Amino acid sequence: MTHLSSFRRGAAVLASAGLLCGVLGGGVAAAAAPSPSAPGVAHGSYQGRVIARHHLILRAGPGTSYRAVGSLPHGAVVSIRCKVNGERVHGNPHWYKIREGRFGRAWASARYIRIIGKTPRWCR
């Protein structure tokens, strides 16, 4: 192998890596900041990611005694309207009012949601 072909291959690898970093970097930035017009994301809402091991049960009110109205899988990103104090779940008294299209209004224990960005405001 000549010095020139080795140089070209090295330059091609560096150019490909730079392009890949640019594409992936742009993709990460786009994923981290969804546009307000994206489906299911309301302008000015708060977001969180479900960290429950299997699925998170959504309730009709801020406590486990309220009826279950649905569930969300681990890793799902949810829109949050606000938070209230409710029944403690593993030491955490906060419950989030969830804004999900198919469930309408539902409540989820804050114990199983990790906030993305700003902390949700208190419900009025």
Domains annotated for the chain, with CATH where assigned, are 46-116 (2.30.30.40)
Average pLDDT over residues 88-110: 89
Q: Does the pLDDT value for residue 34 go beyond 60? A: no
**Band of residue 103 on the pLDDT scale cut at 50, 70, 90:** low
Helices (H), 33-99: none
Residue 45, classified by CB atoms within 10 Å of its CB into exposed (0-12), middle (13-18) or buried (19+), is middle
**Band of residue 105 on the pLDDT scale cut at 50, 70, 90:** confident
Whether the full predicted model's pTM is greater than 0.85, yes or no, is: no
Higher pLDDT pick, 60 / 30: 60
Average pLDDT over residues 105-119: 96
**Band of residue 68 on the pLDDT scale cut at 50, 70, 90:** very high
In the numeric block, which tokens belong to residue 28?
A: 């990460």
